Chain A
Amino acid sequence: MLWFEMKKVFCKFKNRMAVVLLLIILAAVSMLTMNRVEYVGSDGSHVSGILGARSLRAEKNKWKGEVTQDVLEAVVRENDAINRSPDSKSDKIEELNKAYAKKQGFSDIAELINSAFSEWRDYDYFAIDNISAEEAKSVYERRVSNLKQYLGSGEEAFTDSEKDYLIKKYEDLQTPFYYEYSDGWSALLQNISTFILMLALVIGFLVAGIFSGEFQTKADAIFFSSRLGRNRAVLAKMGAGFLIATVFYVVFVLLYTFIVLLALGADGANCPIQFDMWRSLYNITFFQAYLLIVTGGYVGTLFAATLSMLASAVTRSTATAIIVPFVVLCAFPFLSRVITLPGICSFFPDQLLEVYITIKDWVLVGLGGKVVDVVNVLIPVYAAVCLLLAPVLYKVYRKAQVA
């Protein structure tokens, strides 16, 4: 039964076209992601993509290891030395590029220093040029002290328990950071949300006709009058929907991941996410962030697919069922931009596909007197909603009457 339900989906021309579209999207997003990594050669020329990544990796991995105080000090000294070179003092872009080429190897560590020595809501690109090697040693301490200073400034609206939670999270971050080339992971994470959104919409499209198809082809009378038409055959439809959602999600996310990491390099999985998101309160590595984003995306995709199937069963219209994932995943974020709905927006299902942004920002919720970050609430809550909607979907469909 399950096999035939899958066959029903994929023998439709429009669904096969949707799969082709998904492959095109995969190719396009992979290309865009690969081109995010740029390398500036010693002659000042730019190379992006696979070749750029290869050279950049070699350059950055010269600084591979723990970013200790000595390393921070060394980075400031090296930066100063390059700044004093004739290339850096030139007015010509080509010459400045040559100077930048020399800084690429430690640019991520330089960015940490810049972040630590910038105003809270600002980023000073030249902060590293204005501090001493000795001062650079305090990067990790400054991360916590800057936070405390900001929380004490009265510019924000956090409760005391939220402040305590943030400070604790910052203090818990393990230092010194482990560093190596991680641009592959960085590029992957920056574009993966867009890819997951498109994947979720296509999956919603694929599953939209599973339940309404019986009514639209007028095969409903035979389906529901058959022995298993009101029990196991309905479960087979649900199984096909969830299987399509899961297999497509896993396969396409893995394909995207493999393509990007194969091209740009998979090193840096164990580097802390703070290399990319200095203020993040998530004390996780790039790989853990990837897992969190992918898990959130999966639950979001499953939620949109479940709603699509429910709409398909209730309205008996495939068109309506196709619209549902668009509303859930695209209209909600639009709504949150045009209407001020503080707080509520953080709980919209589209946030599951925006875990990357949530990791970057601070979105806290109070739960039973405890403060937790929103991702840790959203993922289990929407997973539970999917589980609760499954029996509703089953009951709605099995009770269908055919007039």
Chain B
Amino acid sequence: MELEFKDLTKKFAGFTAVNHINLVMANGVYGLLGVNGAGKTTLMRMLCTLLVPTSGTITYNGKNIFKMDGEYRKRLGYLPQEFGFYPEFTVQDYLMYIASIKGIRPVVARKRVKQLIDKVGLSKAAGKKMKKLSGGMKRRAGVAQAMLNDPEILVLDEPTAGLDPNERIRFRNLISELSEDRLVLLSTHIVSDIEYIANEIWLMKDGSLMHKGTVDEIINSMPERVWQCFVGREMVPEYMRQYKISNMKAEPQGVELRIIANEKPSENARSAEASLEDVFLYYFGEKAGEEDAVV
């Protein structure tokens, strides 16, 4: 199975959301990393046939996915960033309905719904109305609906946004478990979410693909080094002006800074191993910390 983006572009009135992207994907977990507004959701929505590209194509095994229509979508599972549902439906009803629009026969759907409800840990909430579920439970119902048709292609747009740390870890493990033998495209602006589970990471900025590769390849792509040093509190503003600071930790004897720079920033600075978070900060700069991003 091969999915290919060929010169894919999407323009909205006045701006280009996705700019001439060329990519090939096979089975595995792909992490799409970028700040809010980078074009991740637009790219995913085109992949899910929700948006028609302005130019370029997306092919599945050489066939245009928009021409394949339902034949392509039957291979697809999608959890959108804003997971909408029918508030008055119970979890069971909701999943049965999604199964029906996925073309799954009722007899098969009943079995599959039960299996997935158990798998995502919603057995006790199966009869609860969707509107009564917690944020984490709703997301789990969202993953269950995406998995109903046992998709070859699983697209997860910001699946952990808004979840508490425990739920995020649970969720990450669930995605990892579900990613076997399929293509998973996971978009996030939370670096740690994909650091652990993605085989390949794509860095996206202003609609374009900046870098792609494994975690190590991405880290190695950063031309600057990472340093750690202690400085007095009064020096912090000065360091912030001069360098990119990927982390600050207040200690009794001062502030421990993690600095991205070519040269050693101070006498007491020691070289540190770069992480994906450092790379994210390096490429996305001050925007990386916007909104609810956790770097």
Chain A residues with a Cβ under 8 A of chain B: 1, 4, 7-8, 11-12, 213-214, 217-233, 401-403
Interface segment among B93-101, B168-176, B274-282: the answer is: B93-101
> How far apart are the CA atoms of A218 and B87 in the complex, in Å?
11
| B36, chain A: closest CB distance, angstroms | 15
| A21, chain B: closest CB distance, angstroms | 19
Chain B residues with a Cβ under 8 A of chain A: 12, 42, 45, 48-52, 69-70, 73-74, 76, 78, 80, 82-89, 93, 96-98, 100-103, 145, 149
Q: For B69, list chain A residues within 8 Å (CB).
A: 230-231
Instruction: Find out whether the CB atom of B48 lies under 8 angstroms from the CB atom of A221.
Output: yes
Instruction: Find out whether the CB atom of B78 lies under 8 angstroms from the CB atom of A225.
Output: yes
| B109, chain A: closest CB distance, angstroms | 11
Q: For B48, list chain A residues within 8 Å (CB).
A: 221, 224-225
Instruction: Find out whether the CB atom of B76 lies under 8 angstroms from the CB atom of A225.
Output: yes
Q: For A213, list chain B residues within 8 Å (CB).
A: 86
Instruction: Find out whether the CB atom of B80 lies under 8 angstroms from the CB atom of A222.
Output: yes
> How far apart are the CA atoms of A12 and B87 in the complex, in Å?
9
Instruction: Find out whether the CB atom of A225 lies under 8 angstroms from the CB atom of B50.
Output: yes
Instruction: Find out whether the CB atom of A227 lies under 8 angstroms from the CB atom of B80.
Output: no
Instruction: Find out whether the CB atom of B86 lies under 8 angstroms from the CB atom of A228.
Output: no
Instruction: Find out whether the CB atom of A219 lies under 8 angstroms from the CB atom of B50.
Output: no
Q: For A11, list chain B residues within 8 Å (CB).
A: 86, 88-89
> How far apart are the CA atoms of A222 and B73 in the complex, in Å?
11
Q: For B86, list chain A residues within 8 Å (CB).
A: 8, 11, 213, 217, 219
Closest to B88 in A: A11
Instruction: Find out whether the CB atom of A222 lies under 8 angstroms from the CB atom of B51.
Output: no
Q: For A401, list chain B residues within 8 Å (CB).
A: 50-52
Known: A225-B50, A401-B50. 11 other contacts (CB 8 A): A4-B100, A7-B89, A219-B85, A221-B50, A221-B84, A222-B83, A227-B101, A227-B149, A229-B101, A232-B103, A403-B12
Instruction: Find out whether the CB atom of A225 lies under 8 angstroms from the CB atom of B84.
Output: no
Instruction: Find out whether the CB atom of A7 lies under 8 angstroms from the CB atom of B85.
Output: no
> How far apart are the CA atoms of A229 and B86 in the complex, in Å?
16
Q: For B80, list chain A residues within 8 Å (CB).
A: 218, 221-222
Q: For A402, list chain B residues within 8 Å (CB).
A: 45, 50-51
Known contacts A4-B97, A401-B51, A403-B12: does B73 contact A225 (CB below 8 Å)?
yes
Known contacts A12-B88, A217-B86, A220-B84: does B102 contact A228 (CB below 8 Å)?
yes
Pick 7 A–B contacts, CB within 8 A, sort by A. Answer: A8-B86, A217-B84, A220-B84, A225-B49, A225-B73, A227-B74, A403-B42
Closest to A213 in B: B86
Q: For A231, list chain B residues within 8 Å (CB).
A: 69-70
Q: For B89, list chain A residues within 8 Å (CB).
A: 7-8, 11
| B152, chain A: closest CB distance, angstroms | 12
Q: For A225, list chain B residues within 8 Å (CB).
A: 48-50, 73, 76, 78
Instruction: Find out whether the CB atom of A227 lies under 8 angstroms from the CB atom of B73.
Output: yes
| B45, chain A: closest CB distance, angstroms | 6
Instruction: Find out whether the CB atom of B96 lies under 8 angstroms from the CB atom of A4.
Output: yes
* Partner pick for A222 among B52, B84, B96, CB 8 A cutoff: B84
Closest to A218 in B: B84
> How far apart are the CA atoms of A218 and B85 in the complex, in Å?
7
* Partner pick for A217 among B12, B73, B76, B87, CB 8 A cutoff: B87
> How far apart are the CA atoms of A12 and B93 in the complex, in Å?
15
Closest to A220 in B: B84
Instruction: Find out whether the CB atom of B82 lies under 8 angstroms from the CB atom of A218.
Output: yes
Q: For A222, list chain B residues within 8 Å (CB).
A: 78, 80, 83-84, 98, 145
Closest to B48 in A: A225
Known contacts A219-B84, A231-B70: does B102 contact A4 (CB below 8 Å)?
no
Known contacts A222-B145, A226-B73, A227-B74: does B93 contact A4 (CB below 8 Å)?
yes
Instruction: Find out whether the CB atom of B51 lies under 8 angstroms from the CB atom of A226.
Output: no
Instruction: Find out whether the CB atom of A227 lies under 8 angstroms from the CB atom of B88.
Output: no
Closest to B46 in A: A401
> How far apart are the CA atoms of A26 and B53 in the complex, in Å?
52
Q: For B76, list chain A residues within 8 Å (CB).
A: 225, 227
| B66, chain A: closest CB distance, angstroms | 10
Instruction: Find out whether the CB atom of B101 lies under 8 angstroms from the CB atom of A1.
Output: yes
Closest to B47 in A: A225
| A185, chain B: closest CB distance, angstroms | 42
Instruction: Find out whether the CB atom of A227 lies under 8 angstroms from the CB atom of B145.
Output: no
A-B complex: 9 closest residue pairs judged by Cβ atoms: A218-B84, A11-B88, A219-B84, A221-B80, A402-B50, A227-B74, A225-B48, A4-B97, A226-B101
| A215, chain B: closest CB distance, angstroms | 9
> How far apart are the CA atoms of A308 and B98 in the complex, in Å?
25
Instruction: Find out whether the CB atom of B50 lies under 8 angstroms from the CB atom of A226.
Output: no
| B13, chain A: closest CB distance, angstroms | 11
Instruction: Find out whether the CB atom of A228 lies under 8 angstroms from the CB atom of B50.
Output: no
> How far apart are the CA atoms of A227 and B103 in the complex, in Å?
6
Q: For B96, list chain A residues within 8 Å (CB).
A: 4
Closest to B45 in A: A402
Q: For B78, list chain A residues within 8 Å (CB).
A: 221-222, 225
| B147, chain A: closest CB distance, angstroms | 12
Instruction: Find out whether the CB atom of A228 lies under 8 angstroms from the CB atom of B103.
Output: yes
> How far apart are the CA atoms of A4 and B95 in the complex, in Å?
11
| B186, chain A: closest CB distance, angstroms | 16
Closest to B72 in A: A227
| B142, chain A: closest CB distance, angstroms | 8
| B162, chain A: closest CB distance, angstroms | 14
Q: For B45, list chain A residues within 8 Å (CB).
A: 221, 402-403
> How far apart are the CA atoms of A149 and B78 in the complex, in Å?
76
Closest to A11 in B: B88
Closest to B82 in A: A218
* Partner pick for A233 among B52, B85, B101, CB 8 A cutoff: B101
Q: For B42, list chain A residues within 8 Å (CB).
A: 403
Q: Which of A8, A214, A222, A229 counts the most B-chain CB atoms under 10 A from its CB?
A: A222
> How far apart are the CA atoms of A11 and B130 in the complex, in Å?
13
| B247, chain A: closest CB distance, angstroms | 35
Instruction: Find out whether the CB atom of B85 lies under 8 angstroms from the CB atom of A217.
Output: yes
Q: For B97, list chain A residues within 8 Å (CB).
A: 1, 4
Instruction: Find out whether the CB atom of A224 lies under 8 angstroms from the CB atom of B100.
Output: no
Q: For B73, list chain A residues within 8 Å (CB).
A: 225-227, 229-230
> How far apart are the CA atoms of A68 and B93 in the complex, in Å?
67
> How far apart are the CA atoms of A4 and B109 in the complex, in Å?
14
